[in-house]
Amino acid sequence: MNNKPIHNEEFRKMMAGEVYSAIEPELLAELNRVKDLCWEYNNLRPTDMEQRQRVLREILGCYHDDTFIVQPFYCDWGRNIHVGKGFFANFNFTVLDEATVTIGDDCFIGPNVAIYTACHSTDPKERNTRREWARPVSIGDNCWIGGSVTILPGVSIGDNCTIGAGSVVVRDIPSNSVAVGNPCRVVKTINQGQ
C-alpha cells in the first residue's frame, strides 16, 4: 500500500485542509509518480489480475484483496484513497484525492463516477496563483453510487445509500437514503429490514 510518508510543508498543509501551493516541485514529482502508476495499471491486460492487484496495492492508501477497479482508473495521490472490503468501481473512476477519500465496505461505484476533494478560488486572479485547498469525502458501508455521479469536496454519504445516476452531490446525504438529481436530494428513506 502507498504509505511512504511525505515530509513536505505544502503536503502537510494540503492534508490539513489549509491553502497550499499546487505547483510545489516535490508535490508535482509525487503526482507524476502516481500518474505513471495509473498509466501502468490502465495499460495492463484486463486478464492479468496478479499485476493489476500489485499496481493497485501500490497506488491506494488502503486496499483489500477483493478490491476491484475496472480500467481505466485515474487519481491524483492514491495514498489518500481508503476503500473497504468488497469494493468495486466500474470504468473511468476518477478521484481527485488531495484530501482523504474514505469508502466503506461493500460499496459499488458505477461507470464515469468522479469524486473531487480539490477546491479552487472563484476569483480568477487568486485561482491563477495555483494555490488551492481540499476537503475530505466519505462514503459509508453498503452504498451504490450510480453512473456519472459527481461528488463534490467535503461531502459525507451515510451507510446504505443509493445515489442515482447523473447526480451531483453537493451536500451530505444521511444514512439509509435514496438520493438523486442536481443538486442531489433525498427522495426516499429506506427502513432497515426492508
Per-residue pLDDT tens, the chain, 194 aa: give them: 556 777 899 999 999 999 999 999 999 999 999 999 999 999 999 999 999 999 999 999 998 999 999 999 999 999 999 999 999 999 999 999 999 999 999 999 999 999 999 999 999 999 999 999 999 999 999 999 999 999 999 999 999 999 999 999 999 999 999 999 999 999 999 986 55
- Distance (Å, rounded) from C-alpha 93 to C-alpha 193? 31
- Whether 120 is catalytic is yes
SS3 137: strand
Task: Find, among 56, 67, 138, 130, the residue nearest to 97 by Cα.
Answer: 138
- Distance (Å, rounded) from C-alpha 105 to C-alpha 115? 17
SS3 40: helix
Among residues 7, 64, 82, 120, which one is catalytic?
Answer: 120
Q: Which domains does the chain have, with CATH numbers?
A: 9-189 (2.160.10.10)
- Distance (Å, rounded) from C-alpha 97 to C-alpha 81? 7
